[in-house]
């Protein structure tokens, strides 16, 4: 049995979607970031990093979105969430997911979590990061739109976890006052996913 730890509004959405698209049987556990549940001793035993997502399996816990996504794809191969039989195409999935976690998510994090990278009372620097974040997010999305997303899915005709991860980060664009329609391929990909019952189910749970 899998236990999935998540919080609404976080990148955990991508892994949550992957579990649904995989048809996995899992127990979802919601953490309340407002009461800092992710820092509670009980949760730090699950994930010492104090972050979500985390996926507890019979053999131990897996964290970090790209790792969880590939693990789900490999555990439920019949769902076709990654090109497991093609090392090059799988590398393209991992390349995209790695860009999302190390560059795009990081660009986003400078809006609300600038205190990570300067002293917590340095409000001037934190405000400066907040101000630049939308510009960096727009640049990342322009690069993905023009150079990386082949359409109709990230890989082209083949659906993959990269689509679910991109969907998740694209859902953060309104918080930066960026209209996703500036990026037609990504907007179209997001619209098609918005219509899927698996997406609607998870979004409803996160909003509840």
Phi-psi group of 151: left, alpha or beta (phi > 0 → left; psi -120 to 50 → alpha; rest → beta): left
Burial of residue 50 (number of CB atoms within 10 Å: 0-12, 13-18, 19+): middle
Comparing CB distances to a second copy, the nearer of 23 and 191 is 23
Using CB under 8 A, list all residues that contact a second copy: 48-49, 57, 59-60, 62-68, 70-71, 74-75, 87-88, 90-92, 94-95, 97-99, 101-103, 105-107, 110, 116-119, 122, 124-125, 128-129, 131-133, 136, 143, 146-148
| Minimum distance from residue 45 beta carbon to a second copy (Å) | 11
Q: Which residue, 105, 111, 103, 108, is CA-closest to 127?
A: 111
Comparing CB distances to a second copy, the nearer of 19 and 199 is 19
Comparing CB distances to a second copy, the nearer of 87 and 204 is 87
| Minimum distance from residue 52 beta carbon to a second copy (Å) | 14
Comparing CB distances to a second copy, the nearer of 143 and 187 is 143
| Minimum distance from residue 149 beta carbon to a second copy (Å) | 12
Comparing CB distances to a second copy, the nearer of 127 and 194 is 127
Comparing CB distances to a second copy, the nearer of 71 and 196 is 71
Confirm if 12 and 63 have CB atoms less than 8 A apart.
no
| Minimum distance from residue 175 beta carbon to a second copy (Å) | 17
| Minimum distance from residue 115 beta carbon to a second copy (Å) | 10
Taking the alpha carbons at both ends of the chain, their separation in whole angstroms is 24
| Minimum distance from residue 29 beta carbon to a second copy (Å) | 19
């Amino acid at each position: 049995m899998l236990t999935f730890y998540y919080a609404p509004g976080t990148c955990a959405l991508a892994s949550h979607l992957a579990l649904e698209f995989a048809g996995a049987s899992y127990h979802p556990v919601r953490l309340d970031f407002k009461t800092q549940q992710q820092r509670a001793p009980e949760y730090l035993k699950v994930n010492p990093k104090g972050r979500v997502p985390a996926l507890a399996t019979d053999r131990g816990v897996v964290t970090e979105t790209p790792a969880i996504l590939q693990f789900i794809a490999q555990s439920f191969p019949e769902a076709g969430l990654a090109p497991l039989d093609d090392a090059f195409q799988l590398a393209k999935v991992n390349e995209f997911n790695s860009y999302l976690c190390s560059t795009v998510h990081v660009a986003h994090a400078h809006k609300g979590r600038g205190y990570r990278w300067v002293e917590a009372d340095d409000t001037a620097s934190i405000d400066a990061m907040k101000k630049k974040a939308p510009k960096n997010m727009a640049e990342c999305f322009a690069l993905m739109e023009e150079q990386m997303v082949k359409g109709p899915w990230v890989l082209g005709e083949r659906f993959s976890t990269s689509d679910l991860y991109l969907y998740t980060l694209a859902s953060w664009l309104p918080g930066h006052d960026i209209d996703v329609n500036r990026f037609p391929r990504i907007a179209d990909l997001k619209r098609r996913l918005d219509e899927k019952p698996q997406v609607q189910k998870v979004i409803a749970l996160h909003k509840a």
